[in-house]
Amino acid sequence: MKPNFSLRLRIFNLNCWGIPYLSKHRGDRMKRLGDLLNMESFDLALLEEVWSEQDFQRLRQKLLPAYPAAHYFRSGVIGSGLCVFSKHPIQEFTQHVYTLNGYPYMIHHGDWFCGKAVGLLVLHLSGLVLNAYVTHLHAEYNRQKDVYLTHRVAQAWELAQFIHHTSKKADVVLLCGDLNLHPKDLGCRLLKEWTGLHDAYHETRDFKGSEEGCTMVPENCYVSQRELEPFPFGIRIDYVLYKAVSGFYISCKTLRTTTGHDPHSGTPLSDHEALMATLCVRHSPPQHTPDPTQGPAERSRLISVLKEAWTELDLGVAQARWWATFAGYVIGLGLLLLALLCALAAGGGVREVAILLWTPSVGVLLGAGAVYLFHMQEAKGLSRARAELQHVLGRAREAQDLGLESQPALLLGQQEGDGDEEQ
Amino acid sequence: MKPNFSLRLRIFNLNCWGIPYLSKHRGDRMKRLGDLLNMESFDLALLEEVWSEQDFQRLRQKLLPAYPAAHYFRSGVIGSGLCVFSKHPIQEFTQHVYTLNGYPYMIHHGDWFCGKAVGLLVLHLSGLVLNAYVTHLHAEYNRQKDVYLTHRVAQAWELAQFIHHTSKKADVVLLCGDLNLHPKDLGCRLLKEWTGLHDAYHETRDFKGSEEGCTMVPENCYVSQRELEPFPFGIRIDYVLYKAVSGFYISCKTLRTTTGHDPHSGTPLSDHEALMATLCVRHSPPQHTPDPTQGPAERSRLISVLKEAWTELDLGVAQARWWATFAGYVIGLGLLLLALLCALAAGGGVREVAILLWTPSVGVLLGAGAVYLFHMQEAKGLSRARAELQHVLGRAREAQDLGLESQPALLLGQQEGDGDEEQ
């Protein structure tokens, strides 16, 4: 690679709102999305909420000349909704399905059935290794009383860990997607602090688009105005995040968003706004390589957000265990009731009533059993994230105590025990 | 690191058979395992089937002076059963839970509830980065009619992919565990060919232990003699696998197994045999670094095993879809029956019969719904593995066609399209 190496990357991201039978004007919007992608010829288009694989296949056919490589990430019952179209060959791909993703009995929310995941693509561009991630975290249905907050924090942690462990040899890391997190939300800060990813909206000097970079705006006719009421400009929950490692420098030259309506036909492409970023990768002296764990200020921020996330996960573990215990009691009572009904049925007298009550009792028992199993699994999943987080927190604290501010590799290389990660 | 750098690693692996209430002499065996680990002072002890976290905590207390670092990998309803004890500090840890792991309605087998996983530990030893993996794949209950074969192949592929994507910056990769795969089984070959891991049993010149390195032997009093009938010496399903990358060379100096009984008290530590390996890591010139994708013979073997695995997964996808379709028909018929029962109940006549049949019909409907959802998820999971595998197969074939035998980085670095991975 030449010392004056420079690479320009044009990235597109959109949550497509492609729910069969439910999303308005889906076919037309998908068609216009294909036209836009063909016209603009991005290096990489990362899409979320393409729930129908037929929609993906149609797009694929349409985009084949301009984007010869494509992949749909399958998971869950419905599919992850994630897919990618690339101008460049995809060297490798894999995915990680989040351990926790809502509750199966919240059928009307449906997230559990989707198998929300993070997809990874490895691309080799002019000798540079690019790890591109695309993801979609659990939706937020009620910001005031968010029952999925813990799951989203656990997902943000799993996402950060997946990126951390799979991108160690990458030169450039790119993450696009619908995080369902506002910029200052715990999950978003946790993700950024632990991975060292930078937010294109904050980094670019050339931004054009919706007010404050919002990706769900009241101007969009598909957006529920009631839900956006507390946010006059809208909310920013879709992101282009990036970082460069190992002697490269990356910057965001331009960032554009759509603004709630399509300039040609008037109706927008989705209920979310599209993000279009132009990134520039150059060689840089090693000291210019950003390192999230370098300075004391960064470390202090990391420790603070890790503590906050630990507390949230700890609360989640306690709540999951409470539900499992409650279900356990219901199972116990259900068994007692069944025994009683058997005795009554055998003894005569109220035999008909006993027989009629038998089936609902078995139903309650099976239901409670399922709830017990689910929340036991939830508790294990949250405990796992909490243990990983606590380990990182312990190491960050030791690094802070040692005050070795000039050793960037400290956090990833120091030799200390991890005797307290199981607390 | 000095050019004459040399590192000796003593590794212990055991499937502990630690099922609360079911496994015989569990407490006593765990106690003796702790004594052995304390006496021998290994660098790393990797354990499977420690199903009770209390057992882990007791071992942890006992082993704390000799193994200051430890971790239990939590997952599923019960837990993954995986844990590690390390003489050296653990830098980082994470885990990956397998997407497919048996069927929830096979309650008597129980694997689905365990959340089988692979755990990863990153250790820094004298400047060398060691990625140690511990895993336990789905059990094989009937070798002649193995209904879990496809799931185990998918798990082997996910394991190989997890290692492949998380070990890119590691100097040494170590995988220990109970793979529930014989050495020539498809999953085992797939894992070895795609990761380039070497089998300690085949590599060492100094082996002492059970005949043919078997890890379940008829001499072991806890082993079902009936199940081992077709295998006079026993079976080898537990492994120590390793490889060195980036200019290091690793060899297995000695490999020992227990032989079905404990020399002191007479009863064995588990129904599996323990593996004790002494590995030696040295610097080596780059050309001595093993690369699984280097030669045409290796590539040909890889292509062959990828094809075989693709066929197996393809069969699995078809079968999962068949079950989902079947469950779909049952749902349809159940709905029809319910409508009929409603009409009969409203019309009088056989009202009592109709009301009595109502509850079992709802039960069948819910059951069929659950089966439908499960097999849809299974089909997605298998399709995902098949797509990843097909992509690798396509690249391996192109590498073979090009015949660029002298370029070791070819398979990981060539620039070709992946237009056919969605077939």
Q: What pLDDT, on the 0 to 100 scale, is given for residue B417?
A: 34
Q: What pLDDT, on the 0 to 100 scale, is given for residue B99?
A: 93
Q: Are B119 and B80 spatial neighbours (Cβ–Cβ below 8 Å)?
A: yes
What percent of chain B is predicted at pLDDT more than 90?
70
Give me the active site residues of B, please.
272
- In whole angstroms, give the CA distance from residue A250 to residue A260: 29
Q: How far is CA A114 from CA A102, A111, B103, in A?
A: 10, 5, 19
Q: What pLDDT, on the 0 to 100 scale, is given for residue A420?
A: 37
Q: What pLDDT, on the 0 to 100 scale, is given for residue A294?
A: 64
Which residue in A181, A221, A177, A174 sits closest to A50, CA to CA? A177
Rounded to the nearest angstrom, the minimum Cα separation between B43 and chain A is 14
With a cut of 80, say whether residue A145 has pLDDT above it.
yes
- In whole angstroms, give the CA distance from residue B1 to residue B421: 43
Mean pLDDT of B273-291: 79
Contact B74 A115 (CB under 8 A): no
Instruction: Please report the number of interchain residue pairs, chain A to chain B, with beta-carbon separation below 8 angstroms.
Output: 134
* Residue A138 is a catalytic residue: no
With a cut of 80, say whether residue B166 has pLDDT above it.
yes
Q: What is the signed CA dihedral for B364, B370, B374, B375, rounded to 10 degrees?
A: 30
What pTM did the predictor assign? 0.91
Q: Is A402 left (phi over 0), alpha (psi -120 to 50) or beta?
A: alpha
With a cut of 50, say whether residue A412 has pLDDT above it.
no
Q: Does A202 touch chain B (CB under 8 A)?
A: no
Give contacts of A115 with chain B, Cβ < 8 Å: 377, 380
Give contacts of A369 with chain B, Cβ < 8 Å: none
Rounded to the nearest angstrom, the minimum Cα separation between A259 and chain B is 33
- In whole angstroms, give the CA distance from residue B394 to residue B416: 10
Which residue in A262, A258, A260, A261 sits closest to A276, CA to CA? A258
Residue A364: pLDDT band by 50, 70, 90 thresholds? Answer: confident
With a cut of 50, say whether residue A406 has pLDDT above it.
no
pLDDT digits over B117-148, tens only? 999 999 999 989 999 999 999 999 988 888 89
Which residue in B241, B148, B238 sits closest to B194, CA to CA? B241
Q: Does A87 touch chain B (CB under 8 A)?
A: no
Check residue A235 and report its DSSP letter.
Answer: B
Residue B293: pLDDT band by 50, 70, 90 thresholds? Answer: low
What's the distance, Cα to Cα, between the start and end of chain B in Å? 48
| Selected catalytic residue, list A151, A198, A272, A375 | A272
Contacts for A144-150: CB closer than 8 Å, 24+ residues apart: A148/A102, A148/A111, A149/A186, A149/A312, A150/A100, A150/A312, A150/A313, A150/A315, A150/A316, A150/A319, A150/A382
Q: What pLDDT, on the 0 to 100 scale, is given for residue A128?
A: 93
Contact A413 B96 (CB under 8 A): no
Q: What pLDDT, on the 0 to 100 scale, is given for residue A320?
A: 95
Q: Are A341 and A354 spatial neighbours (Cβ–Cβ below 8 Å)?
A: yes
With a cut of 80, say whether residue B288 has pLDDT above it.
no
pLDDT digits over B226-280, tens only? 889 999 999 999 999 999 987 899 999 999 999 998 767 778 999 999 999 999 9
With a cut of 50, say whether residue B418 has pLDDT above it.
no
Give contacts of A94 with chain B, Cβ < 8 Å: 161, 165, 388
Give contacts of B84 with chain A, Cβ < 8 Å: none
Which residue in B142, B73, B85 sits closest to B114, CA to CA? B73
B74, B91, B391 member nearest A380 (Cβ): B74
Mean pLDDT of the residues in chain B: 89
Q: What is the ipTM of this complex?
A: 0.89
What percent of chain B is predicted at pLDDT more than 70?
91
- In whole angstroms, give the CA distance from residue B389 to residue B304: 12
Contact B60 A422 (CB under 8 A): yes
Q: Does A398 touch chain B (CB under 8 A)?
A: no
- In whole angstroms, give the CA distance from residue B80 to residue B117: 6
Q: Are B92 and B122 spatial neighbours (Cβ–Cβ below 8 Å)?
A: yes
In chain A, positions 355-394, which contact chain B (CB-CB < 8 Å)? 359, 373, 376-377, 380-381, 383-384, 387-388, 391-392
Chain B residue at shortest CA distance from A128: B413
Most confident of A177-181, B4-8, B370-374: A177-181
- In whole angstroms, give the CA distance from residue B71 to residue B93: 8
Q: What pLDDT, on the 0 to 100 scale, is given for residue B54?
A: 95
Q: What pLDDT, on the 0 to 100 scale, is given for residue A405?
A: 43
Contact A165 B422 (CB under 8 A): no
A96, A120, A415 member nearest B89 (Cβ): A415
Mean pLDDT of B390-408: 76
Q: What pLDDT, on the 0 to 100 scale, is given for residue B261?
A: 84
The first and second tokens of residue A114, run together, are: 């989707």
Q: How far is CA A367 from CA A104, A105, A319, B112, in A?
A: 12, 10, 19, 18
With a cut of 50, say whether residue B315 has pLDDT above it.
yes
Chain A residue at shortest CA distance from B60: A419
With a cut of 70, say whether residue B423 has pLDDT above it.
no
pLDDT digits over A46-57, tens only? 999 999 999 999
Q: Are B128 and B106 spatial neighbours (Cβ–Cβ below 8 Å)?
A: no
Chain A residue at shortest CA distance from B128: A413
Chain B residue at shortest CA distance from A421: B71
Q: What is the signed CA dihedral for A297, A302, A303, A304, rounded to 10 degrees?
A: 90
Q: Which of A244-253, B194-203, B360-369, B388-397 has the lowest mean pLDDT?
A: B360-369
Contact A74 B380 (CB under 8 A): yes
Give the three-state DSSP class for A238.
Answer: strand
Buried b / exposed e across B112-123, counting CB within 10 Å, b at 16+? Answer: bbbbbbbbbbbb
pLDDT digits over A246-293, tens only? 789 999 999 999 999 876 777 899 999 999 999 999 987 655 544 555
- In whole angstroms, give the CA distance from residue B73 to residue B77: 12
- In whole angstroms, give the CA distance from residue A34 to residue A380: 42
Q: Does A66 touch chain B (CB under 8 A)?
A: no
With a cut of 70, say whether residue B80 has pLDDT above it.
yes
Give contacts of B72 with chain A, Cβ < 8 Å: 422
A97, A99, A421 member nearest B71 (Cβ): A421
Give contacts of B88 with chain A, Cβ < 8 Å: 415
Contact B381 A74 (CB under 8 A): yes
How would you classify the pairing of strands A238-244 and A207-208?
unpaired
B68, B113, B387 member nearest A417 (Cβ): B68
Give contacts of B363 with chain A, Cβ < 8 Å: 359
- In whole angstroms, give the CA distance from residue A213 to residue A240: 11
> B323 versus A104: which is more confidently predicted?
B323
B92, B93, B380 member nearest A115 (Cβ): B380
With a cut of 60, say whether residue B294 has pLDDT above it.
yes
Contact B383 A74 (CB under 8 A): yes
Q: Is A257 left (phi over 0), alpha (psi -120 to 50) or beta?
A: beta
Mean pLDDT of the residues in chain A: 89
Q: What pLDDT, on the 0 to 100 scale, is given for residue A257?
A: 96
Query: To which residue do tokens 């949250």 refer?
Result: A382
Q: Which of A2-11, A179-188, B266-275, B390-399 has the lowest mean pLDDT?
A: A2-11
With a cut of 80, say whether residue B32 has pLDDT above it.
yes
Q: What is the signed CA dihedral for B269, B272, B273, B275, rounded to 10 degrees?
A: -110
Q: What pLDDT, on the 0 to 100 scale, is given for residue A408?
A: 40
- In whole angstroms, give the CA distance from residue B270 to residue B19: 11
Q: Does B60 touch chain A (CB under 8 A)?
A: yes
Q: Does A412 touch chain B (CB under 8 A)?
A: yes
Give contacts of A373 with chain B, Cβ < 8 Å: 77, 113
Query: Which residue, among B83, B99, B112, B365, would best test binding to A if mutated, counting the most A CBs under 10 Å from its CB?
Result: B99
Chain A residue at shortest CA distance from B324: A77
Residue type, A99: T
With a cut of 60, say whether residue B46 has pLDDT above it.
yes
Residue A245: pLDDT band by 50, 70, 90 thresholds? Answer: confident
Q: What pLDDT, on the 0 to 100 scale, is given for residue A382?
A: 93
Residue B321, C-beta contacts closer than 8 angstroms, at least 6 positions apart: B375, B379
Q: Does A260 touch chain B (CB under 8 A)?
A: no
How would you classify the pairing of strands A92-97 and A83-86?
unpaired
Q: How far is CA B308 from CA B152, B315, B324, B351, in A?
A: 14, 11, 25, 57
How would you classify the pairing of strands A198-199 and A128-136?
unpaired
